[in-house]
Amino acid sequence: MIRFSGITPSGHATLGNHLGAIRRWAREGGPGDLYFVSDLHGMTSAYHPQRLRVRARELLATLVAAGIEADQVFVQSDLLPQLGTLTWILECTCSFGEAARMTQFKEKSARRELEATPVRVGLFTYPVLMAADILLQGADEVPVGDDQAQHVELARTLARRFNGTFGEAFVVPAAVTPPAAARVRDLANPARKMDKSARDAVGVLYVMDEPDLLRRKIKRAVTDGLGRLEFRPDEQPGLANLLEILAACTGKPARDVPAEYSSYAELKEAVAEAVIEELRPVRERTKELLDDGVELDRIRARGAELAAERSAHRLATARRLAGVG
C-alpha cells in the first residue's frame, strides 16, 4: 500500500505543518509510503528562485529529521522530465471546465485579480500536475487537508478516464482526510490558520525558530480580557489555539488542559516549554543535515532514483497507450 503526500516549500515549515502533516507522516507512515517536497508547486505565484531552492532543501532535511525514512522522501523537481510528460498527457484528458471548477483556483485567482497581479496559467493547471504526482507513483491513498481533497478527486477522475479511454495505466487513488490533529491558528490573528507563506511572521511559529524566539512569539499571542481558562474556540479563539497546541504537543485532549493552569501567563509558559521541546530534536537534526551537505545530497539523489525507478514502467505504459511512446 502506497500512501503518498507532499508539502510545498512556499515558506519555512511551521508548527502547523509539523503537527498536522510532517509528524503524522513520520509516526503513522508504513514502509510503502512516499512523501515529497512539491517545489514545482511553489512556482504558481511570484517567487524567488534561490529562495525556492534553499527552502526545498531545508524542507527535505526537516522531513528526514522528523523521522520519515530517508528512502521514502524525494524532491518533486528531481522528477521534472517525467512529471512534465505526464502532466501534458493528463492536461489533454482534462476539460477546461473541470480545472476551472477548482475552489482553490477560484479563490486564489480572485485574490490576485483584486491585487492586480497576473494569474499564471500554472496556477490553473496546478491540480493536473498534482494528479501527475499522484498517478506517476501509483499512490493508493493520498492523505491531505480538506483544501486539497478536491484536487485528489480530480486525480481520481483523470485516472479513471485515462484507463477507460486508452487502457489500464493508473491506480485510482483514494483521498483520505484524516481528522485534524490540531487546527493551529496564527498566534497574532487566530481567525487565520498558521500559514508558512504569511507575510507577517509574529504569529507564526517556525520549526527552525530558536527557543527564545518561540517563547517570545508565544508570550505575545493574542488572547482575551475574559480571564476564563476554558476551551471555548468560538468565544476565546486565541486561548483555544494555545490549548490545542499544548494538547497536540503533550498528547492530551484540549478540553482537559485548562484545569492545570491558573492564569494565561502560566499557560503560555507551559505552551512555550512544550513547543520548544517538541521542535528541538527536529530543528537540531535538520541543522545537522543542512550542515553536512554530503549526507543530504545522498538522501536526495537516492530518493530521486527510487521515485524514478518506481514510476518508469507506468509512465512508459501511459505514453504507449496515449500514442506518444
Q: Which is nearer to ligand TRP, 139 or 249 (CB)?
A: 139
Binders of ligand TRP among 90-149, rule CB under 6 A?
Answer: 130, 133-134, 142, 144, 148
What minimum distance in Å lies between the beta carbon of 37 and ligand TRP? 9
Q: What are the grid coordinates assigned to 77, written together?
A: 523537481
Work out whether strand 4-7 and strand 174-176 pair parallel, antiparallel, or are unpaired: unpaired
- 106 catalytic? Reply is no
Q: What is the contact mask toward ligand TRP in residues 27 to 56, using x (rule: CB under 6 A)?
A: -----------x--x---------------
Check if 196 is active-site. Answer: yes
Q: Which is nearer to ligand TRP, 75 or 188 (CB)?
A: 75
Q: Report residue 2 as a C-alpha cell.
A: 502506497
User: Rounded CA gap, 61 and 51, in Å?
Assistant: 15
Task: Give me the residue label for grid cell 486539497.
Answer: 148
**Residues forming a β-bridge with 25:** none
Sign of CA dihedral 308, 312, 318, 320: positive
Binding-site size for ligand TRP (CB under 6 A) equals 12
Concerning whether 268 is annotated as a catalytic residue, the answer is no
Please identify which of the residues 106, 196, 217, 252 carries the catalytic annotation: 196
- Interface mask (CB under 6 A) for ligand TRP, residues 205-244, using x and -? ----------------------------------------
- Which residue is nearest to ligand TRP, using beta carbons? 6
DSSP string, 151-213: HHHHHHHHHHHHHHHH------PEEE-PPPS--PBPSS-TTSB--TT-S--TT--BTT--HHH
Closest separation in Å from C-beta 237 to ligand TRP: 24
Matching residue, cell 549526507:
295
What residues line the site for ligand TRP (CB under 6 A)?
4-6, 8, 38, 41, 130, 133-134, 142, 144, 148
Q: Which residues are catalytic?
A: 108, 193, 196
